[in-house]
Each structure stands twice: as C-alpha cells, then as structure tokens.
Amino acid sequence: MRLAELSERSGVAIATIKYYLREGLLPPGRRVSATTADYDEDHLRRLRLVRAMIQVGKVPVATVREVLGHVDDDSLGRTIRLGAALWALPQEDGPDEGAEGVEGAEGGADEAVVAARAEVDLLLDMLGWTTARELGPLSPVHRSLVVAVATLNRLGYPWDAELMAPYGRLMHQAAVRDLDFVESHPSETEKVETAVAATILFQPVLRALHRLAQEEESARRYGLS
C-alpha cells in the first residue's frame, strides 16, 4: 500500500507517519521509486502499536524507540526479549527513585523500604515465583511493588506477604491468559508487540473490571440501600 492508504487505514496523518519514519519508530517501506515506497500489514500493525504507546501510554518517543529496539531484537530468546521490552516501558518510581527515597535522615536505608522489600521477597517465595525472586534487584517492576508496599506501610495500611499472596495468585491466572493471547499470534515479533500493546491498553481495562467487581460484591453483601 502507498503512504496515503497507510494513513487512511490507520487514521494517522501522513505528516505524523513521516515523523515516525524519521524517528525510526516505523521501518522504511519498500522503495519503488525515488519518491515512492510501499508499505504492508506489518507497517500498519507497528503504526498502531506506536500510536497506542504514545497516545494512550503517554510514552516518550525516545522510550518508544528503545522498547521497539528490544521488540525487533531477534538475537534474544522470547523471555528476555519480552522482559527487556516491558522493562523499558515507564514504571512507577522505584525505592531508589521515589519521592520518599531509600535513604533516611541518617543516610541509612529507609526502614519502610527495607521492611517492604523483605515482605515482597517473602511473597515471591510463597508464590514460588523463582525468576521474579532472582531478578528482584534488577527489575523495575519489583522496585515499583516495593515502593508501593512501603508507601502503604508509612500511611498506616500495612500489607504483608500473607495479605498479598491471594492477589498474587489471581494475577498469575491473569498472566496465564495474557500469554495464551500472546501465543495466538504467529511471529515472534507479533508476540512481543502484542505483549507491549496489552501492557499499555489492557491495564486500564483490568483496573476498571476490578472496580466494577468491588461495586458488585458490595451490592451483594450490603444491598443498594
């Protein structure tokens, strides 16, 4: 398809597509003349992913480029390729980055963070999530969980491993469904692209479903009066 058709099918302006091409977010089309290139379904799929990351996920262009670099790195195994792409996405502040910080007034480790990290690691042991346990210090997701638990503890809402474990088991069921969906796509690149898109687009759906479920359960227990 020509650039005009790619624009029409994607709903993205030609000028924006040209910008994405210049920034390396979209691979160049197959050159058919000095001024004309052909684009295919892979370009359309990638263009939709880029728009999802920028418009919905509010991901900076430089970060989009980094994520897509991991998506396209076929020298990596699927787990590392997927993990690298997802880790490159913006995360919640980790304990070494958050407003509360890791360091206390005396320059030592923040007690709430130390306690939260211990509970998170205990949780991972309880769930048998050995990979998450081993990668803990390297994972921005692990850091985000630690700082969230530390913040809850500071505010007087302590969350320990026992309280988090049932939620962890439910999240594992969600992860199984996520990867079943990813596996339904044919190529390695499509699988990783789908996982990135799902991380950005499906999380608002899951949050909304969680809140609706809370409303439903509240009505069942306590009525609507």
Radius of gyration of the chain (CA): 21
Is pLDDT above 80 for 134?
yes
Query: Which pLDDT tens digit goes with each residue over 190-223?
Result: 888 888 888 888 888 888 999 999 999 999 999 9
Sign of the torsion angle spanned by Cα atoms 66, 68, 73, 76: positive
pLDDT at 92: 56
> Using N-to-C axis directions, what is the helix angle for 61-71 and 78-88, rounded to 10°?
180
Compute the distance between CA of residue 127 and CA of residue 14 in angstroms, rounded to an integer.
49
pLDDT at 83: 81
Percent of the chain with pLDDT over 70: 92
pLDDT at 96: 44
Task: Provide the 8-state DSSP code for 105.
Answer: T
Tell me which residue of 7, 52, 93, 96 sits closest to 196, measured CA to CA.
52
The lowest-confidence range among 31-35, 46-50, 140-144, 211-215 is: 31-35
pLDDT at 106: 38
Instruction: Taking residues 50-60, report their average pLDDT.
Output: 88
Tell me which residue of 138, 145, 143 sits closest to 161, measured CA to CA.
145
Instruction: Taking residues 182-196, report their average pLDDT.
Output: 86
pLDDT at 3: 92
Tell me which residue of 38, 40, 46 sits closest to 20, measured CA to CA.
46
pLDDT at 109: 59
pLDDT at 95: 42
Is pLDDT above 70 for 105?
no
Q: Please check whether residue 169 is in contact with residue 127, taking contact to mean a CB–CB distance below 8 angstroms.
A: yes
pTM: 0.73
Q: What stretch of H or E contains 37?
A: strand 37-38
pLDDT at 103: 40
pLDDT at 43: 93
Structure tokens belonging to residue 196: 């990135």
3-state secondary structure of 38: strand
Whole-number average pLDDT of the chain: 86
Percent of the chain with pLDDT over 90: 45
